[in-house]
């Protein structure tokens, strides 16, 4: 009888034992729970290296909870409410800051951010920037010999040369382009979109779909980041894809991290936010998250980063302004882009 039962229940017993030890082990150590987006913790992302580096100094364990993207991160927090397990939320962008603050879940960080240098300047008592990138039109040098040199040239250029953009209703780069056009054109943004519309091959739900179409060769241009060519130069050793520098300047996306009021160990959370702006973390970011560092790195950046477009002028709207006008501006975009 015993013989018959053990093979059947054996695996369950082992599993239960494993679970019990896992829980008891984690109860003894300090754990810092970091909510972030999926590409941060993916095998190519900075997550594992960041956790390893921080764990060396803190005597704690870093545990990630990852969701699809920055927007989803905020949704998850709202769904979880005050009882969220998050100590740190890493991966919101500046457009979401005012909405994130309105939830009342975040606590002021209280750390010194003097070392942080972000183009256009961004400082906040609640959120700490950890990387940034400028939105840019990436073009295929094999197809386009003369890329647009300004947003105006993009808008008014040859409609036969197409661009793939992202939808501002469902993606952050899409919203970025919307704000970029608004910053440059102001009241004329609707007219600019109506003109650009002929050049738009299609509007994808997210960055991945747009970039996939672009690298497949469907369109010679795509809306992405100034840092995209760095990936192709470093990981694929090709300088085929380049960013077009626009004379009006580029809109910036700054990614930020913050600590929650419910953080179990506020001192530890604060240490992590300080670590995020330190050289250790900043050195990991460029070649894993493919964004620009906001503070000094341990070694100089790889050569490829020197070849990137570094915009002379940076656009950034306050997140309050974005929150107040987003709906109206998306309606304007819809109206201009939907005419047949």
Partner 1 sequence: MTEGGKFRQSPNYNRKQYKAIMINRTERHFTLAAGALCLGGIVLFVCMAAYALLAFDAPGTPGDGAVFDAYVWRVARFTLLQASLSTLLSILFAIPVARALARQTGFFGRVWIIRLMTLPLGLPALVAALGLIGIWGRQGALNTAFAALGLDQPISIYGLSGILLAHVFFNMPLAARLMLGGLERIPGEYWLVGANLGMRPLSIFRFIEWPAIRGLVPGIAGLIFMLCATSFTLVLILGGGPAASTIEVAIYQALRFDFDPPRAIALSLLQIAVTSALLVAIRLLTPKADDGHGGGRKVRRFDGRHGFGRIGDWLVIALAVLFIALPLASVISSGLRSDLIRLAGDTMVQRALVTSIVIAVVSSLLCVVATAVMIRARQAAMAPRHPLALHRGLAAAISASSSLVLLVPPVVLGAGWFLLLRPLGDVAVFTPLLVVLINMLMALPFVYRVLEPAMTTHSARTARLAASLGLGGWNRFRFIDWPALRKPVLMALSFACALSLGDLGAVALFGSQDMVTLPWLLYSRMASYRSTDAAGLALFLGLVCLVLTIAGTPSATNNDKGRHDAAA
Contact 230, 289 (CB under 8 A): no
CA nearest to 66, candidates 40, 47, 38:
38
Which C-beta is closer to partner 1: that of 105 or that of 130?
Answer: 105
Contact 110, 264 (CB under 8 A): no
Residue from 29, 52, 320, 331 in contact with partner 1 (CB under 8 A)? 331
Query: Is residue 106 a contact point for partner 1 (CB under 8 A)?
Result: no
Residue from 48, 200, 274, 317 in contact with partner 1 (CB under 8 A)? 200
The C-alpha atoms of residue 209 and residue 177 are separated, in whole angstroms, by 16
State the minimum distance, in angstroms, from the CB of residue 68 to partner 1.
Answer: 5
Instruction: Please list the residues that pair with 268 across neighbouring strands.
Output: none
Query: Is residue 231 a contact point for partner 1 (CB under 8 A)?
Result: yes
Residue from 13, 25, 68, 296 in contact with partner 1 (CB under 8 A)? 68
The C-alpha atoms of residue 131 and residue 90 are separated, in whole angstroms, by 11
Residue from 33, 39, 94, 314 in contact with partner 1 (CB under 8 A)? 39
Q: What are phi and psi of 242, to 5 degrees?
A: -130, 160
Which C-beta is closer to partner 1: that of 105 or that of 122?
Answer: 105
Site string for partner 1, 128-167 (x = CB under 8 A): ----------------------------------x----x
The C-alpha atoms of residue 47 and residue 52 are separated, in whole angstroms, by 9
Query: Is residue 20 a contact point for partner 1 (CB under 8 A)?
Result: no
| Other residues' Cβ atoms within 10 Å of the Cβ of residue 218 | 14
Which C-beta is closer to partner 1: that of 72 or that of 271?
Answer: 72
Contact 236, 120 (CB under 8 A): no
SS3 assignment for 74-124: HHHHHHHHHHCCCCEEEEEEHHHHHHHHHCCCEECCCCCCCCCCCCCCCCC
Residue from 26, 103, 142, 238 in contact with partner 1 (CB under 8 A)? 103
How many residues at the interface with partner 1, by CB under 8 A?
Answer: 63
Residue from 1, 7, 27, 83 in contact with partner 1 (CB under 8 A)? 83
State the minimum distance, in angstroms, from the CB of residue 189 to partner 1.
Answer: 15
CA nearest to 90, candidates 216, 226, 275:
275
State the minimum distance, in angstroms, from the CB of residue 313 to partner 1.
Answer: 27
Q: Which of these ranges, 51-59, 113-121, 200-208, 306-314, lies near partner 1 under the rule CB under 8 A?
A: 200-208
Query: Is residue 26 a contact point for partner 1 (CB under 8 A)?
Result: no
State the minimum distance, in angstroms, from the CB of residue 112 to partner 1.
Answer: 29
Strand intervals (E) in 169-317: 200-204, 221-225, 241-244, 250-260, 292-293, 314-315
Residue from 20, 42, 57, 238 in contact with partner 1 (CB under 8 A)? 42
Using a 10 angstrom Cβ sphere, with 0-12 exposed, 13-18 middle and 19 or more buried, the burial of residue 303 is exposed
What residue ranges bind partner 1 (CB under 8 A)?
A: 38-39, 41-45, 64-68, 71-72, 74-76, 78-81, 83, 85, 99, 102-105, 162, 167, 169-170, 197, 200-205, 207-209, 211-213, 215-219, 228, 231-232, 235, 290, 327, 331, 333-334, 337-340
């Amino acid at each position: 009888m015993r013989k018959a039962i053990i093979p059947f229940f054996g695996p369950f017993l082992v599993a239960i034992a494993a679970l019990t030890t896992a829980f008891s082990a984690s109860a003894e150590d300090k754990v810092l729970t970091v909510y972030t987006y999926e590409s941060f913790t993916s095998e190519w992302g900075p997550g594992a290296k960041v956790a390893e580096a921080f764990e060396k100094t803190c005597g704690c364990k870093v545990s990630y909870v990852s969701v699809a993207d920055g927007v989803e991160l905020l949704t998850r927090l709202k769904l979880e409410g005050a009882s969220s397990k998050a100590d740190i939320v890493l991966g919101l962008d500046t457009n979401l800051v005012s909405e994130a603050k309105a939830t009342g879940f975040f606590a002021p960080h209280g750390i010194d951010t003097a070392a942080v240098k972000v183009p256009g300047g961004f400082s906040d008592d609640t959120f700490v920037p950890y990387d940034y990138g400028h939105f840019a039109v990436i073009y295929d040098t094999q197809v386009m010999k003369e890329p647009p040199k300004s947003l105006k040239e993009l808008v008014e250029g040859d409609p036969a040369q197409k661009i793939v953009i992202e939808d501002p209703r469902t993606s952050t780069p899409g919203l970025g382009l919307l704000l970029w056009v608004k910053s440059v054109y102001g009241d004329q943004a609707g007219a600019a979109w109506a003109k650009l519309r002929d050049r738009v091959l299609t509007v994808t739900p997210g960055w991945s779909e747009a970039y996939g179409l672009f690298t497949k060769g469907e369109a010679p241009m795509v809306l992405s980041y100034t840092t995209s060519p760095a990936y192709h130069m470093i990981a694929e050793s090709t300088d085929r894809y380049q960013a077009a520098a626009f004379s009006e300047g580029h809109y910036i996306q700054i990614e930020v991290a913050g600590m929650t009021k419910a953080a179990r160990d506020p001192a530890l959370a604060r240490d992590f936010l300080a670590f995020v702006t330190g050289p250790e973390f900043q050195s990991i970011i460029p070649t894993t998250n493919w964004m620009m560092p906001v503070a000094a790195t341990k070694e100089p950046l790889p050569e490829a980063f020197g070849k990137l477009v570094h915009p002379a002028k940076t656009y950034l709207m306050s997140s309050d302004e974005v929150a107040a006008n987003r709906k109206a501006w998306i309606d304007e975009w819809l109206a201009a882009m939907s005419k047949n």
